[in-house]
Amino acid sequence: MASSETLTAQEYIKHHLTNLTFGSHPESGLGFAHTTEEAAEMGFWAVHVDTMFFSILLGGLFLWFFKKVADNISSGEPNTAQNFVEWIVDFVEENVRGSFSGKNPMVAPLGLTIFVWIFLMNLMDLIPVDLIPWTFQHVAALFGADPHHVFLRVVPTTDPNATFGMSLMVFIMTIYYSFKIKGVGGFVGELTLHPFGKWGMPANLILEGINVLSKPVSLSLRLFGNMYAGEMIFILIALMYGPSVVLSLAGAASQMAWAIFHVLIITLQAFIFMVLTIVYLDMAHQESH
Amino acid sequence: MELAQAVVYIAAGIMLGLGALGAGVGIGVLGGRFLEGAARQPELIPMLRTQFFIVMGLTDAMPVISIAMGLYLLFAV
């Protein structure tokens, strides 16, 4: 930690779980929040600058890399980057073929974007927890900020705002295609006529409404929960480093073990988000029975 | 120990324990069925493995959320 005063374990964890928030405070005006309470007082329109920065940075990185490979594509002897990109594109295409039965040219690119983007955002979890925040604190201290009140969370998917943003977009697309493919009558019919027939309309609407609304919530909470738990365990392992050599070595071993296991989780969660997006859009494209 | 703190520890213990219990039963059943299917039709193993991992990720989500919240209660509150 940047400051020379010792932090308790609780302060350390809380510091790591606070976003760098920019917003309009009712008393001190426009600026960065210095404490968690200040961030909460900023209300709805406060922006998590770190989440925005890292997610847009990684999205740009993904677009830049794939565009570069696509521009230099050759049918003769592909280089390593082209093989790699083709492998990912094939993998996503295969999954879309397998679970999407309608006709929509947008679903496969959407699946590719979701998969690679979420994977990159989750990958930030494997960077040692203190590395980027510590560097950022020191840089901010050079510009006169109190390093104790500079927060940074590097994994955008541990912020529910990011995951809910993505799942709400998927939700809006589902509703849009439901109306477009099935028509207003078809979609309303699917919501109101399904389990009990037309005399049980209110009960049908409640059941189907819960069904529709639970999709974006579970989609985003699943990703958020997994990443948050992973980050939390990395932070707890980081607490083991200290003057005791035995405990530090145990911390190093457990960090390694958890990181290796986490490689599986981050890929799996990106993959699940992609598959569920495809499945939800497929449901929106099916004609009602 | 104050009562409030003791209750937090008990709550964290229940969250961690029940989360582990549910995930253990769920993934155990899933893995057993996966092995049965793989033994019956070994040529389907690649497809079954993909489905296995998807369903494992779905099963895993709720326990992991409860474990994260439990650890947060235990160490940060």
Report, as ranges of residue numbers, the positions in chain A whose pLDDT lies below 50. Answer: 1-4
Catalytic member of B60, B69, B73, B74: B60
Please tell me what DSSP assigns to residue A143: T
B68 to chain A, any CB pair closer than 8 A? The answer is yes
The total of other beta-carbon atoms located within 10 Å of residue A131's CB is 10
- Domain locations along chain A: 9-285
Taking CA–CA distances from A16, the nearest residue in chain B reads: B76
**Domains and their CATH numbers in chain B:** 13-76 (1.20.20.10)
Whole-number pLDDT of residue A1 = 40
pLDDT of residue A289: 52
Q: Which of B54, B62, B76 sits opposite A272 (nearest CB)?
A: B54
Determine, for residues A13 and B76 on separate chains, whether the beta-carbon distance falls below 8 Å.
yes
Catalytic hit among A99, A222, A254, A288? A222
Chain A: give the shortest CA distance to residue B23, in Å.
Answer: 13
Contact status of A217 with chain B (Cβ, < 8 Å):
no
Give the integer Cα–Cα distance in Å for A148 and A201: 57
Please, which residues have CB within 8 angstroms of residue A246's CB and are 6 or more apart in sequence?
A: none
State residue A257's pLDDT score: 92
Residue B48 structure tokens: 């079954």
Asked if A19 and A34 touch (Cβ cutoff 8 Å), the reply is no
For residue A37, give the 3-state DSSP assignment: helix
A32: β partners: A22
- Is the Cβ pair B58, A222 closer than 8 Å? yes
The answer to whether A115 and A92 are in contact (CB under 8 A) is yes
**Which of B60, B61, B68 is the closest to A232 by Cβ?**
B68
Task: Please list, in sequence order, all residues whose beta carbon lies within 8 angstroms of the beta carbon of residue A208, skipping any fewer than 6 positions away.
Answer: A190, A191, A192, A194, A195
Interchain CB contact of A238 with B (< 8 Å): no
CB-CB contact of A19 with A153 (8 Å): yes
B 8-67 residues inside an 8 A Cβ radius of A: 53-54, 56-58, 60-62, 64-65, 67
Burial of B46 (0-12, 13-18, 19+ CB in 10 A): exposed
pLDDT in tens, A128-155: 888 888 888 888 888 877 777 788 888 9
Instruction: Flag if B64 and A225 touch (Cβ within 8 Å).
Output: yes
Rounded CA separation A91/A232 (Å): 31
Mean pLDDT to the nearest integer, B40-63: 86
| Nearest residue, CB atoms, B57 vs list A9, A221, A272 | A272
Cβ distance B57 to A228 less than 8 Å, yes or no, reads: no
pLDDT of residue A138: 84
With bands split at pLDDT 50, 70 and 90, how would you rate the model's confidence at B58? confident
Closest CA to A163 of B52, B65, B74, B20: B65
Angle made by CA atoms A116, A120, A125, in degrees to the nearest 5 = 145
**Mean predicted confidence (pLDDT) in B12-36:** 92
Are A263 and A157 in contact, with CB atoms under 8 Å apart? no
Higher pLDDT, A185 or B76: A185
Strands, E, within A49-88: which ranges? none
